[in-house]
Amino acid sequence: MKDSFSCTANLAPADLPKEGGRFDLPIALGILAASGQIRVEALKGMEFAGELSLDGSLRPVRGALAMALAATRAGRVLVLPAESAAEAALAPRAQVLAAGSLLQVVAHLVGSQSLAAPVLPQAEAGAIAWPDLAEVRGQAAAKRVLEIAAAGRHSLLMFGPPGSGKSMLAHRLPGLLPPMDEEEALASASVLSLTGGFNAAQWARRPFRAPHHSASAAAMVGGGGSPRPGEISLAHNGLLFLDELPEFDRRVLECLREPLETGVITVSRVARQVDFPARFQLVAAMNPCPCGYRGDPRGRCRCTPDRVARYRDRLSGPLLDRIDMLIEVAAVDTAALHASADGESSAAVRERVMRAFALQQRRQGKPNAWLGAAEIDAHCGAEPPAIQLLAKASARLGLSARGTHRLLRVARSIADLAARPLIGVAEMSEAIQLRRGLPESA
Protein backbone atom coordinates (compact mmCIF):
# COMPACT_ATOMS: atom_id res chain seq x y z
CA MET A 1 0.00 0.00 0.00
CA LYS A 2 1.41 3.37 -1.00
CA ASP A 3 2.22 5.94 1.64
CA SER A 4 -0.33 8.71 2.06
CA PHE A 5 -0.26 11.99 3.88
CA SER A 6 -2.74 14.59 5.06
CA CYS A 7 -2.37 18.34 5.15
CA THR A 8 -4.26 21.34 6.48
CA ALA A 9 -4.76 24.52 4.48
CA ASN A 10 -4.92 27.65 6.62
CA LEU A 11 -7.09 30.35 4.98
CA ALA A 12 -6.27 33.12 7.45
CA PRO A 13 -7.70 35.54 8.47
CA ALA A 14 -10.64 33.46 9.66
CA ASP A 15 -13.13 36.35 9.81
CA LEU A 16 -12.73 37.15 6.10
CA PRO A 17 -15.48 35.32 4.14
CA LYS A 18 -14.25 32.76 1.62
CA GLU A 19 -16.59 31.33 -0.97
CA GLY A 20 -16.46 29.79 -4.41
CA GLY A 21 -13.69 27.71 -5.89
CA ARG A 22 -11.13 30.41 -6.71
CA PHE A 23 -8.85 29.17 -3.90
CA ASP A 24 -8.57 25.66 -5.42
CA LEU A 25 -5.58 26.45 -7.62
CA PRO A 26 -3.50 28.29 -4.97
CA ILE A 27 -4.22 25.54 -2.42
CA ALA A 28 -3.10 22.86 -4.88
CA LEU A 29 0.09 24.76 -5.67
CA GLY A 30 0.75 25.24 -1.97
CA ILE A 31 0.48 21.49 -1.40
CA LEU A 32 2.84 20.80 -4.30
CA ALA A 33 5.35 23.33 -2.93
CA ALA A 34 5.09 21.96 0.62
CA SER A 35 5.67 18.42 -0.64
CA GLY A 36 8.73 19.50 -2.65
CA GLN A 37 7.26 18.82 -6.08
CA ILE A 38 7.76 22.46 -7.16
CA ARG A 39 10.15 25.08 -5.82
CA VAL A 40 8.73 27.70 -3.48
CA GLU A 41 10.89 30.34 -5.22
CA ALA A 42 8.95 29.73 -8.45
CA LEU A 43 5.78 31.11 -6.81
CA LYS A 44 7.30 34.46 -5.85
CA GLY A 45 5.88 37.51 -7.58
CA MET A 46 2.84 35.58 -8.79
CA GLU A 47 -0.80 35.26 -7.80
CA PHE A 48 -3.17 32.45 -8.72
CA ALA A 49 -6.92 31.92 -8.81
CA GLY A 50 -9.06 29.22 -10.34
CA GLU A 51 -11.49 26.42 -9.62
CA LEU A 52 -10.17 22.88 -10.14
CA SER A 53 -12.25 20.14 -11.73
CA LEU A 54 -11.68 16.50 -10.78
CA ASP A 55 -9.66 16.00 -13.97
CA GLY A 56 -7.35 18.91 -13.13
CA SER A 57 -8.79 21.35 -15.66
CA LEU A 58 -9.41 24.94 -14.55
CA ARG A 59 -12.86 26.48 -14.44
CA PRO A 60 -13.55 30.27 -14.63
CA VAL A 61 -14.05 32.39 -11.51
CA ARG A 62 -15.88 35.62 -10.74
CA GLY A 63 -14.09 38.90 -10.12
CA ALA A 64 -11.21 38.35 -12.54
CA LEU A 65 -10.99 42.02 -13.51
CA ALA A 66 -10.91 43.16 -9.89
CA MET A 67 -8.18 40.60 -9.16
CA ALA A 68 -6.13 41.89 -12.09
CA LEU A 69 -6.36 45.46 -10.83
CA ALA A 70 -5.19 44.40 -7.35
CA ALA A 71 -2.34 42.27 -8.77
CA THR A 72 -1.21 45.17 -10.98
CA ARG A 73 -1.06 47.51 -7.99
CA ALA A 74 1.06 44.90 -6.16
CA GLY A 75 3.35 44.44 -9.18
CA ARG A 76 2.59 40.72 -9.53
CA VAL A 77 1.79 38.35 -12.38
CA LEU A 78 -1.72 36.87 -12.23
CA VAL A 79 -2.42 33.32 -13.45
CA LEU A 80 -6.08 32.57 -14.20
CA PRO A 81 -8.21 30.05 -16.08
CA ALA A 82 -8.27 30.86 -19.79
CA GLU A 83 -11.93 32.01 -19.75
CA SER A 84 -11.26 34.44 -16.90
CA ALA A 85 -7.87 35.63 -18.17
CA ALA A 86 -9.37 37.33 -21.23
CA GLU A 87 -11.49 39.50 -18.92
CA ALA A 88 -8.57 40.26 -16.60
CA ALA A 89 -6.39 41.31 -19.54
CA LEU A 90 -8.61 44.38 -20.01
CA ALA A 91 -6.99 45.95 -16.94
CA PRO A 92 -4.28 48.39 -18.05
CA ARG A 93 -0.68 47.31 -17.46
CA ALA A 94 -1.85 43.96 -16.07
CA GLN A 95 0.44 40.94 -16.43
CA VAL A 96 -1.96 38.04 -16.94
CA LEU A 97 -1.26 34.46 -17.98
CA ALA A 98 -3.93 31.98 -19.12
CA ALA A 99 -3.93 28.33 -18.11
CA GLY A 100 -6.22 25.47 -19.04
CA SER A 101 -5.24 23.00 -16.32
CA LEU A 102 -3.17 22.48 -13.18
CA LEU A 103 -0.62 20.55 -15.23
CA GLN A 104 -0.03 23.57 -17.48
CA VAL A 105 0.52 25.81 -14.44
CA VAL A 106 3.01 23.31 -12.93
CA ALA A 107 4.81 22.99 -16.27
CA HIS A 108 5.19 26.77 -16.36
CA LEU A 109 6.54 26.89 -12.81
CA VAL A 110 9.12 24.14 -13.41
CA GLY A 111 10.20 25.74 -16.69
CA SER A 112 9.23 22.97 -19.11
CA GLN A 113 6.45 24.97 -20.79
CA SER A 114 5.44 28.63 -20.75
CA LEU A 115 1.93 29.97 -20.29
CA ALA A 116 0.76 32.47 -22.89
CA ALA A 117 -0.89 35.82 -22.34
CA PRO A 118 -4.63 35.83 -23.17
CA VAL A 119 -5.98 37.37 -26.35
CA LEU A 120 -7.90 40.58 -25.71
CA PRO A 121 -11.60 40.11 -26.52
CA GLN A 122 -13.00 42.02 -29.48
CA ALA A 123 -16.08 44.19 -29.08
CA GLU A 124 -19.20 42.75 -30.65
CA ALA A 125 -20.06 44.59 -33.85
CA GLY A 126 -23.70 45.31 -32.98
CA ALA A 127 -23.44 45.32 -29.22
CA ILE A 128 -23.37 49.09 -28.74
CA ALA A 129 -26.30 49.95 -31.02
CA TRP A 130 -29.16 51.34 -28.92
CA PRO A 131 -32.68 51.92 -30.28
CA ASP A 132 -32.93 55.15 -32.27
CA LEU A 133 -34.74 58.19 -30.92
CA ALA A 134 -36.22 58.83 -34.39
CA GLU A 135 -38.46 55.79 -33.88
CA VAL A 136 -40.47 57.65 -31.23
CA ARG A 137 -43.39 59.49 -32.83
CA GLY A 138 -44.20 62.93 -31.50
CA GLN A 139 -43.14 63.69 -27.90
CA ALA A 140 -40.96 66.65 -28.87
CA ALA A 141 -40.93 67.99 -25.29
CA ALA A 142 -39.94 64.61 -23.84
CA LYS A 143 -37.15 64.22 -26.39
CA ARG A 144 -35.82 67.65 -25.41
CA VAL A 145 -35.75 66.56 -21.76
CA LEU A 146 -33.86 63.39 -22.69
CA GLU A 147 -31.26 65.55 -24.40
CA ILE A 148 -30.85 67.69 -21.27
CA ALA A 149 -30.67 64.58 -19.08
CA ALA A 150 -27.98 63.07 -21.29
CA ALA A 151 -25.96 66.28 -21.46
CA GLY A 152 -25.62 66.64 -17.68
CA ARG A 153 -26.32 63.03 -16.51
CA HIS A 154 -29.45 64.22 -14.68
CA SER A 155 -32.08 62.02 -13.04
CA LEU A 156 -35.52 62.04 -14.63
CA LEU A 157 -39.08 61.01 -13.77
CA MET A 158 -41.63 60.68 -16.57
CA PHE A 159 -45.34 60.38 -15.79
CA GLY A 160 -48.17 59.78 -18.22
CA PRO A 161 -50.83 57.29 -19.32
CA PRO A 162 -50.02 53.75 -20.46
CA GLY A 163 -48.73 53.55 -24.01
CA SER A 164 -47.56 57.15 -24.19
CA GLY A 165 -43.95 56.12 -24.86
CA LYS A 166 -42.25 56.45 -21.45
CA SER A 167 -40.43 53.13 -21.68
CA MET A 168 -39.50 53.74 -25.33
CA LEU A 169 -37.92 57.04 -24.38
CA ALA A 170 -36.02 55.53 -21.44
CA HIS A 171 -34.52 52.76 -23.58
CA ARG A 172 -33.22 55.34 -26.04
CA LEU A 173 -31.44 57.50 -23.47
CA PRO A 174 -28.28 55.31 -23.38
CA GLY A 175 -27.77 55.99 -27.08
CA LEU A 176 -27.50 59.73 -26.34
CA LEU A 177 -24.86 59.47 -23.62
CA PRO A 178 -21.16 60.16 -24.18
CA PRO A 179 -18.93 57.07 -24.26
CA MET A 180 -17.23 55.88 -21.11
CA ASP A 181 -13.58 56.68 -20.62
CA GLU A 182 -11.14 53.99 -19.48
CA GLU A 183 -11.57 54.76 -15.77
CA GLU A 184 -15.37 54.56 -15.96
CA ALA A 185 -15.24 51.38 -18.04
CA LEU A 186 -12.93 49.71 -15.53
CA ALA A 187 -15.07 50.72 -12.55
CA SER A 188 -18.29 49.46 -14.14
CA ALA A 189 -16.74 46.24 -15.45
CA SER A 190 -15.15 45.47 -12.06
CA VAL A 191 -18.54 45.58 -10.32
CA LEU A 192 -20.17 43.41 -12.99
CA SER A 193 -17.23 41.00 -12.76
CA LEU A 194 -17.94 40.37 -9.07
CA THR A 195 -21.34 38.93 -9.97
CA GLY A 196 -20.18 37.01 -13.03
CA GLY A 197 -22.35 39.21 -15.25
CA PHE A 198 -19.59 40.95 -17.20
CA ASN A 199 -19.22 40.14 -20.88
CA ALA A 200 -15.74 41.11 -22.02
CA ALA A 201 -16.99 41.52 -25.59
CA GLN A 202 -19.17 44.44 -24.40
CA TRP A 203 -16.27 46.38 -22.88
CA ALA A 204 -17.01 50.10 -22.31
CA ARG A 205 -20.75 49.66 -22.93
CA ARG A 206 -22.74 51.70 -20.41
CA PRO A 207 -24.82 49.45 -18.13
CA PHE A 208 -28.60 49.68 -18.45
CA ARG A 209 -30.41 48.01 -15.57
CA ALA A 210 -34.20 47.72 -15.41
CA PRO A 211 -35.21 45.66 -12.34
CA HIS A 212 -38.83 44.58 -11.92
CA HIS A 213 -40.89 46.41 -9.31
CA SER A 214 -40.97 43.22 -7.19
CA ALA A 215 -37.22 43.63 -6.45
CA SER A 216 -36.27 43.51 -2.77
CA ALA A 217 -34.12 46.03 -0.96
CA ALA A 218 -31.18 43.58 -0.97
CA ALA A 219 -31.55 43.05 -4.73
CA MET A 220 -31.64 46.81 -5.29
CA VAL A 221 -28.82 48.05 -3.05
CA GLY A 222 -26.86 44.86 -2.37
CA GLY A 223 -26.69 42.45 0.51
CA GLY A 224 -26.46 38.81 1.51
CA GLY A 225 -24.40 37.05 4.14
CA SER A 226 -21.31 37.91 2.15
CA PRO A 227 -22.44 41.27 0.68
CA ARG A 228 -22.69 41.49 -3.08
CA PRO A 229 -23.53 44.53 -5.21
CA GLY A 230 -27.16 45.23 -6.06
CA GLU A 231 -28.84 46.82 -9.07
CA ILE A 232 -27.72 50.37 -8.24
CA SER A 233 -24.07 49.25 -8.23
CA LEU A 234 -24.47 47.13 -11.34
CA ALA A 235 -25.73 50.35 -12.98
CA HIS A 236 -22.57 52.24 -11.92
CA ASN A 237 -21.66 54.80 -14.61
CA GLY A 238 -24.79 53.77 -16.49
CA LEU A 239 -28.55 53.99 -16.18
CA LEU A 240 -31.03 52.54 -13.71
CA PHE A 241 -34.54 52.47 -15.17
CA LEU A 242 -37.41 51.97 -12.72
CA ASP A 243 -40.67 51.45 -14.58
CA GLU A 244 -43.95 51.70 -12.64
CA LEU A 245 -42.08 53.55 -9.89
CA PRO A 246 -44.90 53.67 -7.28
CA GLU A 247 -45.30 49.87 -7.55
CA PHE A 248 -41.89 49.40 -5.90
CA ASP A 249 -41.95 48.83 -2.16
CA ARG A 250 -41.54 52.19 -0.44
CA ARG A 251 -38.70 50.86 1.72
CA VAL A 252 -36.85 49.86 -1.45
CA LEU A 253 -37.25 53.33 -2.94
CA GLU A 254 -36.09 55.01 0.26
CA CYS A 255 -32.83 53.05 -0.02
CA LEU A 256 -32.04 55.09 -3.15
CA ARG A 257 -31.91 58.43 -1.35
CA GLU A 258 -28.33 58.27 -0.02
CA PRO A 259 -26.63 56.81 -3.13
CA LEU A 260 -28.41 59.39 -5.33
CA GLU A 261 -26.51 62.02 -3.34
CA THR A 262 -23.17 60.34 -2.65
CA GLY A 263 -22.69 57.84 -5.49
CA VAL A 264 -21.77 55.14 -2.93
CA ILE A 265 -23.80 52.56 -1.01
CA THR A 266 -22.58 51.08 2.27
CA VAL A 267 -23.85 47.57 3.01
CA SER A 268 -23.41 46.69 6.68
CA ARG A 269 -23.55 43.26 8.26
CA VAL A 270 -22.72 42.11 11.78
CA ALA A 271 -19.09 41.26 11.03
CA ARG A 272 -18.49 43.15 7.79
CA GLN A 273 -19.10 46.48 6.09
CA VAL A 274 -18.65 46.93 2.35
CA ASP A 275 -18.76 50.08 0.21
CA PHE A 276 -19.97 49.58 -3.37
CA PRO A 277 -19.87 52.33 -6.02
CA ALA A 278 -23.32 53.49 -7.12
CA ARG A 279 -22.91 56.54 -9.37
CA PHE A 280 -25.93 55.77 -11.54
CA GLN A 281 -28.31 57.93 -13.56
CA LEU A 282 -31.87 57.32 -12.43
CA VAL A 283 -34.66 57.28 -15.02
CA ALA A 284 -38.12 56.42 -13.74
CA ALA A 285 -41.62 56.20 -15.17
CA MET A 286 -45.06 56.14 -13.58
CA ASN A 287 -48.73 56.45 -14.39
CA PRO A 288 -50.71 59.48 -13.14
CA CYS A 289 -52.99 57.21 -11.09
CA PRO A 290 -53.44 53.47 -10.32
CA CYS A 291 -55.53 52.83 -13.44
CA GLY A 292 -53.30 55.08 -15.52
CA TYR A 293 -55.96 57.25 -17.17
CA ARG A 294 -56.38 60.23 -14.88
CA GLY A 295 -56.98 63.34 -16.97
CA ASP A 296 -58.07 61.32 -20.02
CA PRO A 297 -60.63 63.41 -22.00
CA ARG A 298 -62.77 60.32 -22.59
CA GLY A 299 -63.31 59.91 -18.85
CA ARG A 300 -61.86 56.42 -18.55
CA CYS A 301 -60.40 57.05 -15.08
CA ARG A 302 -62.48 55.88 -12.10
CA CYS A 303 -59.88 56.50 -9.40
CA THR A 304 -61.01 58.53 -6.41
CA PRO A 305 -58.85 61.41 -5.14
CA ASP A 306 -58.02 59.36 -2.03
CA ARG A 307 -56.87 56.42 -4.13
CA VAL A 308 -54.71 58.67 -6.29
CA ALA A 309 -53.23 60.30 -3.18
CA ARG A 310 -52.34 56.90 -1.68
CA TYR A 311 -50.74 55.86 -4.96
CA ARG A 312 -48.56 58.94 -5.13
CA ASP A 313 -47.76 58.88 -1.41
CA ARG A 314 -45.62 55.82 -2.11
CA LEU A 315 -43.08 58.36 -3.39
CA SER A 316 -41.76 60.36 -0.45
CA GLY A 317 -40.98 64.06 -0.65
CA PRO A 318 -37.26 63.51 0.09
CA LEU A 319 -37.01 61.02 -2.79
CA LEU A 320 -38.78 63.33 -5.27
CA ASP A 321 -36.54 66.17 -4.08
CA ARG A 322 -33.54 64.16 -5.28
CA ILE A 323 -34.87 63.80 -8.83
CA ASP A 324 -33.64 66.57 -11.12
CA MET A 325 -36.44 66.71 -13.68
CA LEU A 326 -40.10 65.69 -13.89
CA ILE A 327 -42.02 65.74 -17.16
CA GLU A 328 -45.48 64.71 -18.27
CA VAL A 329 -45.53 62.44 -21.31
CA ALA A 330 -48.94 62.87 -22.93
CA ALA A 331 -50.63 60.24 -25.09
CA VAL A 332 -49.78 60.47 -28.79
CA ASP A 333 -52.74 61.07 -31.10
CA THR A 334 -53.45 58.63 -33.91
CA ALA A 335 -52.39 61.03 -36.68
CA ALA A 336 -48.92 61.52 -35.16
CA LEU A 337 -48.58 57.81 -34.48
CA HIS A 338 -49.11 56.86 -38.14
CA ALA A 339 -47.18 59.77 -39.61
CA SER A 340 -43.71 59.22 -41.02
CA ALA A 341 -40.79 59.72 -38.67
CA ASP A 342 -39.92 63.41 -38.55
CA GLY A 343 -37.79 63.64 -35.41
CA GLU A 344 -34.03 63.77 -35.05
CA SER A 345 -31.99 60.62 -34.87
CA SER A 346 -30.05 59.62 -31.77
CA ALA A 347 -26.81 60.37 -33.62
CA ALA A 348 -27.83 63.99 -34.29
CA VAL A 349 -28.87 64.60 -30.68
CA ARG A 350 -25.77 62.84 -29.40
CA GLU A 351 -23.53 65.29 -31.26
CA ARG A 352 -25.00 68.20 -29.28
CA VAL A 353 -24.76 66.19 -26.07
CA MET A 354 -21.08 65.48 -26.76
CA ARG A 355 -20.32 69.16 -27.28
CA ALA A 356 -22.05 70.09 -24.02
CA PHE A 357 -20.30 67.28 -22.18
CA ALA A 358 -16.93 68.41 -23.52
CA LEU A 359 -17.61 71.90 -22.13
CA GLN A 360 -18.28 70.41 -18.70
CA GLN A 361 -15.13 68.30 -18.78
CA ARG A 362 -12.97 71.32 -19.64
CA ARG A 363 -14.67 73.50 -17.04
CA GLN A 364 -15.02 71.21 -14.05
CA GLY A 365 -13.92 67.69 -15.04
CA LYS A 366 -17.28 66.04 -14.30
CA PRO A 367 -20.94 66.11 -15.42
CA ASN A 368 -23.13 68.90 -14.08
CA ALA A 369 -25.26 66.44 -12.08
CA TRP A 370 -22.22 65.58 -9.93
CA LEU A 371 -21.36 69.15 -8.91
CA GLY A 372 -21.09 69.81 -5.18
CA ALA A 373 -22.41 72.89 -3.40
CA ALA A 374 -19.15 74.83 -3.66
CA GLU A 375 -18.74 73.83 -7.31
CA ILE A 376 -22.24 75.08 -8.10
CA ASP A 377 -21.23 78.53 -6.85
CA ALA A 378 -18.10 78.41 -9.01
CA HIS A 379 -19.54 77.01 -12.25
CA CYS A 380 -23.27 77.82 -12.33
CA GLY A 381 -23.10 81.58 -12.72
CA ALA A 382 -26.30 83.26 -13.92
CA GLU A 383 -27.27 86.63 -15.31
CA PRO A 384 -29.00 89.01 -12.82
CA PRO A 385 -32.49 88.63 -14.35
CA ALA A 386 -32.11 84.84 -14.20
CA ILE A 387 -31.09 85.04 -10.52
CA GLN A 388 -34.19 87.13 -9.78
CA LEU A 389 -36.36 84.60 -11.60
CA LEU A 390 -34.83 81.78 -9.57
CA ALA A 391 -35.56 83.59 -6.29
CA LYS A 392 -39.22 84.08 -7.23
CA ALA A 393 -39.61 80.47 -8.39
CA SER A 394 -37.98 79.08 -5.25
CA ALA A 395 -40.40 81.03 -3.06
CA ARG A 396 -43.48 80.14 -5.14
CA LEU A 397 -42.66 76.44 -5.52
CA GLY A 398 -41.28 76.07 -2.00
CA LEU A 399 -38.00 74.59 -3.23
CA SER A 400 -35.55 73.24 -0.68
CA ALA A 401 -31.87 74.11 -0.81
CA ARG A 402 -31.29 70.73 -2.45
CA GLY A 403 -34.04 71.41 -4.98
CA THR A 404 -32.60 74.83 -5.79
CA HIS A 405 -29.14 73.33 -6.35
CA ARG A 406 -30.57 70.66 -8.63
CA LEU A 407 -32.44 73.31 -10.60
CA LEU A 408 -29.20 75.24 -11.09
CA ARG A 409 -27.40 72.12 -12.30
CA VAL A 410 -30.13 71.50 -14.88
CA ALA A 411 -30.06 75.14 -15.98
CA ARG A 412 -26.27 74.86 -16.39
CA SER A 413 -26.74 71.84 -18.68
CA ILE A 414 -29.31 73.72 -20.77
CA ALA A 415 -26.87 76.62 -21.09
CA ASP A 416 -24.10 74.20 -22.08
CA LEU A 417 -26.27 72.82 -24.87
CA ALA A 418 -26.63 76.39 -26.12
CA ALA A 419 -22.89 77.07 -25.52
CA ARG A 420 -23.72 80.00 -23.23
CA PRO A 421 -21.14 80.96 -20.57
CA LEU A 422 -23.82 82.22 -18.16
CA ILE A 423 -27.30 80.92 -17.36
CA GLY A 424 -29.86 83.25 -18.89
CA VAL A 425 -33.57 83.76 -18.31
CA ALA A 426 -34.51 81.26 -21.03
CA GLU A 427 -32.36 78.49 -19.54
CA MET A 428 -33.57 79.24 -16.02
CA SER A 429 -37.21 79.25 -17.13
CA GLU A 430 -36.88 75.86 -18.81
CA ALA A 431 -35.19 74.38 -15.74
CA ILE A 432 -37.94 75.74 -13.48
CA GLN A 433 -40.60 74.09 -15.64
CA LEU A 434 -38.85 70.78 -15.08
CA ARG A 435 -38.91 71.21 -11.26
CA ARG A 436 -42.63 71.91 -10.88
CA GLY A 437 -43.32 68.38 -9.69
CA LEU A 438 -46.33 66.13 -10.10
CA PRO A 439 -49.74 67.72 -10.75
CA GLU A 440 -52.23 67.76 -7.91
CA SER A 441 -54.07 64.48 -7.37
CA ALA A 442 -57.42 66.15 -6.77
pLDDT band at 439; cut points 50, 70, 90? low
Of the candidates 321, 347, 365, which is a domain's last residue?
A: 365
Residue 161 in domain: yes
217 with 358, same domain? yes
Query: What integer pLDDT is reported at residue 2 of this predicted model?
Result: 57
Task: Supply the DSSP symbol for 22.
Answer: T
185 with 55, same domain? no
Side-chain-facing half-sphere of 92: CA atoms under 13 Å: 7
Query: What integer pLDDT is reported at residue 176 of this predicted model?
Result: 96
The span from the CA of 18 to the CA of 38, in Å, is: 26
139 with 105, same domain? no
Query: What integer pLDDT is reported at residue 440 of this predicted model?
Result: 55
Residue 333 in domain: yes
Total domain count for the chain?
2
Query: What integer pLDDT is reported at residue 321 of this predicted model?
Result: 92
pLDDT band at 1; cut points 50, 70, 90? very low
Of the candidates 341, 365, 389, which is a domain's last residue?
A: 365
Query: What integer pLDDT is reported at residue 201 of this predicted model?
Result: 72
CA distances from 317 to 162, 268, 314 (A): 24, 26, 10
Query: What integer pLDDT is reported at residue 438 of this predicted model?
Result: 65
Quote the mean pLDDT of the chain: 89
172 with 93, same domain? no
Query: What integer pLDDT is reported at residue 125 of this predicted model?
Result: 44
Query: What integer pLDDT is reported at residue 11 of this predicted model?
Result: 80
241 with 332, same domain? yes
Q: Nearest to residue 240, comparing CAs of 223, 215, 269?
A: 215
Contact 263, 279 (CB under 8 A): yes
Share of the chain above pLDDT 90, in %: 63
89 with 187, same domain? no
CATH number at residue 57: 3.30.230.10
227 with 317, same domain? yes
Query: What integer pLDDT is reported at residue 341 of this predicted model?
Result: 63
64 with 204, same domain? no
User: What is the per-residue pLDDT across 46-103, written as a single tens digit (0 to 9) for each?
Assistant: 999 999 999 999 999 988 988 998 999 999 999 999 988 988 888 888 999 999 999 9
Residue 305 has pLDDT above 50, yes or no: yes
User: What is the per-residue pLDDT across 412-437, written as a single tens digit (0 to 9) for each?
Assistant: 999 999 999 999 999 999 999 998 87
Average pLDDT over residues 281-309: 90
The span from the CA of 380 to the CA of 405, in Å, is: 10
Average pLDDT over residues 341-351: 87
pLDDT band at 441; cut points 50, 70, 90? very low
162 with 263, same domain? yes
Contact 70, 194 (CB under 8 A): no
CA angle 377, 379, 382 (to 5 degrees): 75
Top mean-pLDDT range of 15-19, 86-90, 223-227:
86-90
Residue 407 in domain: no
Query: What integer pLDDT is reported at residue 204 of this predicted model?
Result: 83
142 with 70, same domain? no
Residue 423 in domain: no
Residue 206 in domain: yes
Average pLDDT over residues 341-359: 91
Residue 166 has pLDDT above 60, yes or no: yes
87 with 224, same domain? no
Length of the chain: 442
Residue 404 in domain: no
User: What is the per-residue pLDDT across 154-163, written as a single tens digit (0 to 9) for each?
Assistant: 999 999 999 8
The span from the CA of 159 to the CA of 150, in Å, is: 18
Q: Residue 74's Cα: distance from chain center in Å?
A: 28
Residue 418 in domain: no
Task: Supply the DSSP symbol for 200.
Answer: G
259 with 296, same domain? yes
pTM attached to this predicted model: 0.86
Query: What integer pLDDT is reported at residue 4 of this predicted model?
Result: 64
Task: Supply the DSSP symbol for 423.
Answer: B
Query: What integer pLDDT is reported at residue 126 of this predicted model?
Result: 43
Residue range of the domain that includes 165: 133-365
Average pLDDT over residues 302-306: 90
Cα first-last separation, the chain: 88
**181-202 core/surface letters (b: 16 or more CB in 10 A; e: else):** eeebbbebbbbbbbeeebebeb
User: What is the per-residue pLDDT across 399-408, written as a single tens digit (0 to 9) for each?
Assistant: 899 999 999 9
User: What is the per-residue pLDDT across 98-122, written as a single tens digit (0 to 9) for each?
Assistant: 999 999 999 999 999 999 998 876 6
Residue 379 in domain: no
CATH number at residue 157: 3.40.50.300
Of the candidates 310, 333, 365, which is a domain's last residue?
A: 365
